[in-house]
Structure 1
Amino acid sequence: MSVVRPELSNVQGILEHRFVQPHSAIMLFSLGETAGAKRFLARWKDRMPSADMAPTDFKAPLVSFGFTWRGLTTLLENETTLSPEAGKAQLDLGFTQMTPDHPGMSDQLGFIGSSSPEFWWDKQFTNAEIHLAIFVWCDSGSQMEETLSSIRVDANECGVVELKLNAFANATLSGERPEGGVLHFGYRDGITSPYIDWSDTKVTGSVDFREFVMGYPSEYYRVPPTTPGPWRDLAMDGTFACVAWIHQDVAAFNRFLADHTDLGQGHTPAGLEQEWLAAKMMGRWRDGSPVGRHPNAPPSVPDYENKFDFSDDPHGVGCPLTAHIRVVNPRSDELTFPNTSRFGAGPPRFIRRGFSYGAKLEGTEDDGAERGLVGIFLCARINEQFYTALRWINKTGFSEALHSKPYNEWMQDALFGSRSKPKADPRLIIPDASAGVTEAALPNFITYRGVCNFLLPSMSSLRILTSQQQ
């Protein structure tokens, strides 16, 4: 009998669990010869938890492995049934060919100007050199230091070359979960995460597991590989991790709030004008409460209830149509016909993991230090999910309401849009109940410092990739 739903014991734990270990890192490598690379991976694969494990059973350090297309084909060079040409045709093009640095993709995804791929990874290496990512979670800074050192020793012994970054003191993407979960722009992180319907019983409020794992294509989820065979077997129960290193210009964000305090006057109690403006840009108050339910002031106790939509706010009076949470998850908003046809099961979803890095900055003067976040976006279809979110962030033509004044289809996500994108309308529009409109010109608040897509294989596929048998 064929398998109709994933076995959680075969799925990497990062998909089901937001690990509580406060220290995180992502090490990047180029693989050398295949046998040495497999020996290296085999030494660390037992530190990888599966999705069926209870968090109480996790013992740090924890790791996950992700492979680029080049890394995957390097490990499979002796697997005669897994032809790279067949893989290119069957796997997601966002993984095999149309990678974020591809000239045909980077412009439409907002990787332009200072966010262009030519500047990525501090110009120390390119996406073409990245074969492997090791995601690491530790209980303490000292444990992280010891773990990174041990991984480096093993890599060196096996001929695996680390790709180092001078922007980080330990030479790798690294950071931690900040106190209280508050990120550099002041918003509380980790409030919600999709509840995955692993049982495929269409539980109310859940998200179909096909949004996140491969191998189970259906009418609404044409998740590649759609054809049965060796490549689908290898991809089954795997997921994609789209990693984005994002520098946050905290000084510019704080200046914008300070310079536009007047926008909130008369809309929120005195003294909350900057908080009101920040809430309208994110779609949540900085304590996490949805601005659609609390349009004028945050509640006395943070509201973390996530069962809301925008059906009672079609014109963005409570939550502006270009607020970040509304752009990346429009919920009940009416999409344009092409998008409704494309996403028959509703707007695309993904699971976000990641961490913050760099010292906190107060005030409006930039100190020149590196700070920001490293996002890990988990999905089963890179083009249909991760790339779609980036396109919507930079051009808001996906929603019917955004084709009506005072909005237009060339507007952008209030926080993450690339303002230098051609034809972009870099305005923040905040309508009010009396048909008035508050608006302001938005600067760039972020810069992409590197973006790369990885396949996180299933536990069984990982055993194939680390096997020394010819």
Structure 2
Amino acid sequence: MPVSNSQPDRNNVQGMIMRGYTHPWSCHLIFKFATQPGAKGFIKAILPYVQSAADWGDDKPEMMLNIGLTFTGLKVVSKLTTSDLAGFPPTFKQGPASAGSQQSLNDGKSNIDTWVFGQTGKQVDCVVHVYGMDEPALNKLVKIVADAAVAGGLTEYLPIANGTKRLEEYATVPRNSIHFGYLDGIDQPALNWGNPDDPADLSAFLIGYPNNTSQPGPSQGNAGVFAKDGCYNAFRMLYQDVDTFDNFLDTNAKEIAPKLGLSIADATEWMAAKLNGRWRDGSPLELTPDKPNPELSHATAFGYSGDTTGMKCPFSAHNRVANPRDEVLSEPGLPPRLIRRGMAYGQPFNSKTASEDRGLIGLFLCGSLSNQFELLYSWINTTNFSNIFPNQQGQDALIANRSMPGADTSFTIPTSKGPVEIESLPQFVVTRGTAYCLLPSISTLKSIVE
């Protein structure tokens, strides 16, 4: 049956879709199901802790969680027939390691083979995102989830064993920052409703609402009912090579400081800002190109149409690629948007922790994995999406995959004293695992365990 165009019931939508959490502690548990009874028993055991998008007012939950199911996972637990399952989009069904998805992601076969989860042989069925107001609250709910997983016969990836840790955020990492030192979590879609031309319209993220015509659904039959009020999540574990990043800044700052008339310290911050499009305190280059301005650290009211030479912000700076705003695009239409719920994992980098794993847990929420997440990633790997720079064939300066065949890994920074030319950017970020999940509605989760 066709889905309704009414506004969603927030009590039926998983909370992370419509709101960002501010709980200081989080943990992300990744599972493979063994049997249908075990999987259903697991979901039933943790269902009371699922947080909806309803306003909690002053009664902020001490601990809570949200649940994502991959296509293989929902095949195990749902009552959908083969015909029903065919209604889900191919990108979701085939997964991030598939040839189709890798045309955009370009993680590389050798890298995929070393993923901690998400490739052939390490199938992910379920990801549980746990949040706590403090460490004891987090640990209490993590134990409830882990015990339910053991009881259901689930296999967990990244369990606490042999010195490894689950994907857990540490209190020693400043909230809303990443290991490269940048303020994070600044620019999110406003999630208003009812404007079909607005890329921040909630219908571009929530399945089952017809305002956004590019959303693949499913929108019909039993699959449409199952998916309605849900949202897709591209869940990524991204290692950040802080040593390589810091050495790159140090080396290049020493070379460019005399040319630009800057101290080495100022040249270091200038280079970091040009890679990202924002200073490390968050202030955007478009609004304050010469130095950071703490008063603008969360500013989002700016565009790039007046910076057609890249003198303020280089064309392939990460923030300009990931959200080109009013940039003239090669293809007509508005740039796709993502809801990001990222957070750092691992200890801060220093001489004692240098060998430890650290990076970003990326939750990229969207209504269409192919038309939003993968399209943006294709821009990240080959920044040829705008007519402003018709000969631009470079890459996102921070997070692109440099091993992509034919990649132009150079980086040019226009300045009034002539361009600063970087012959080849190193690999700063490496994917450790990926899973494409559906965050089902709460009514759908309840129907699974009935």
Q: Same fold (TM over 0.5)?
A: yes
Deviation of 1:107 (Å): 5.0
Task: Give the one of 70, 89, 93 matched to 1:92.
Answer: 89
CA separation of 1:450 and 1:71: change in aligned 2, threshold 3 A: same
What are the Cα deviations for residues 409-457 of structure 1, in whole angstroms up to 9, with x where unaligned?
2x100000111111111111111246x3111121100111001110000
Query: Which residue of the partner structure matches residue 332 of structure 1?
Result: 326
Q: Is residue 448 of structure 1 aligned with residue 431 of structure 2?
A: yes
Q: Is residue 243 of structure 1 aligned with residue 235 of structure 2?
A: yes
Query: Which residue of the partner structure matches residue 34 of structure 1?
Result: 36
Q: Is residue 348 of structure 1 aligned with residue 307 of structure 2?
A: no
Deviation of 1:21 (Å): 1.2
What are the Cα deviations for residues 242-298 of structure 1, in whole angstroms up to 9, with x where unaligned?
111011110100011110113354547534111011001100000000011111111
Deviation of 1:140 (Å): 2.2
Inter-partner Cα distance in structure 1 for 2:203 and 2:444 = 18
Deviation of 1:211 (Å): 1.8
Deviation of 1:304 (Å): 1.8
Q: Is residue 112 of structure 1 aligned with residue 105 of structure 2?
A: no
Deviation of 1:311 (Å): 1.2
Deviation of 1:56 (Å): 3.1
CA RMSD in angstroms comes to 2.5
Task: Give the one of 356, 370, 376 matched to 1:369.
Answer: 356
Contact 2:14 2:51 in 1 (8 A): yes
Contact 1:269 1:297 in 2 (8 A): no
Query: Which residue of the partner structure matches residue 184 of structure 2?
Result: 189
Task: Give the one of 402, 408, 416 matched to 1:419.
Answer: 402
Contact 1:320 1:430 in 2 (8 A): yes
Equivalent position SS for 1:15: helix
Amino acid at match of 2:21: F
Q: Is residue 214 of structure 1 aligned with residue 207 of structure 2?
A: yes
Deviation of 1:330 (Å): 0.7
Equivalent position SS for 1:207: coil
Percent pairwise identity:
31
Deviation of 1:92 (Å): 2.1
Deviation of 1:128 (Å): 5.2
Inter-partner Cα distance in structure 2 for 1:403 and 1:240 = 33
Pairs within 5 Å for 1:387-466: 387-404=374-391, 408-409=392-393, 411-433=394-416, 436-440=418-422, 441-466=424-449
Equivalent position SS for 1:453: strand
Contact 1:358 1:372 in 2 (8 A): yes
What are the Cα deviations for residues 178-234 of structure 1, in whole angstroms up to 9, with x where unaligned?
325332101011223211013x1579x88111221111134x533123653211111
Task: Give the one of 221, 232, 244 matched to 2:224.
Answer: 232
Inter-partner Cα distance in structure 2 for 1:201 and 1:385 = 18
Q: Is residue 253 of structure 1 aligned with residue 235 of structure 2?
A: no
Inter-partner Cα distance in structure 2 for 1:306 and 1:291 = 11
Amino acid at match of 2:222: P
Query: Which residue of the partner structure matches residue 379 of structure 1?
Result: 366
Inter-partner Cα distance in structure 2 for 1:316 and 1:110 = 26
Inter-partner Cα distance in structure 2 for 1:231 and 1:113 = 32
Q: Is residue 52 of structure 1 aligned with residue 54 of structure 2?
A: yes
Inter-partner Cα distance in structure 2 for 1:167 and 1:439 = 46
Would you say how many aligned residue pairs link Structure 1 and Structure 2? 444
When normalised by structure 1's length, the TM-score is 0.88
CA separation of 1:455 and 1:227: change in aligned 2, threshold 3 A: closer
CA separation of 1:93 and 1:419: change in aligned 2, threshold 3 A: same
Inter-partner Cα distance in structure 2 for 1:18 and 1:61 = 15
What are the Cα deviations for residues 82-132 of structure 1, in whole angstroms up to 9, with x where unaligned?
3234423x22222112x1111343254120165x21110079x85752111
Contact 1:167 1:370 in 2 (8 A): no
Instruction: Out of 354-363 and 419-428, give the one that drifted further.
Output: 354-363
Query: Which residue of the partner structure matches residue 14 of structure 2?
Result: 12
Deviation of 1:35 (Å): 2.5
Equivalent position SS for 2:421: strand
Query: Which residue of the partner structure matches residue 360 of structure 1?
Result: 348
Inter-partner Cα distance in structure 1 for 2:17 and 2:162 = 26
Equivalent position SS for 1:230: helix
Q: Is residue 272 of structure 1 aligned with residue 266 of structure 2?
A: yes
Amino acid at match of 1:258: D
Deviation of 1:167 (Å): 8.6
Query: Which residue of the partner structure matches residue 132 of structure 1?
Result: 126
Query: Which residue of the partner structure matches residue 24 of structure 1?
Result: 26
Deviation of 1:383 (Å): 0.6
Deviation of 1:170 (Å): 6.2
What are the Cα deviations for residues 146-188 of structure 1, in whole angstroms up to 9, with x where unaligned?
3222222222223333233579956422124632533210101
Contact 2:199 2:337 in 1 (8 A): no
Inter-partner Cα distance in structure 1 for 2:93 and 2:151 = 29
Inter-partner Cα distance in structure 2 for 1:183 and 1:60 = 25
Inter-partner Cα distance in structure 2 for 1:206 and 1:118 = 35
Deviation of 1:36 (Å): 2.8
Deviation of 1:381 (Å): 0.1
Deviation of 1:15 (Å): 1.2
Deviation of 1:238 (Å): 0.3
> Unpaired runs of 5+ in structure 1?
none
Inter-partner Cα distance in structure 1 for 2:42 and 2:342 = 25
Amino acid at match of 2:289: P
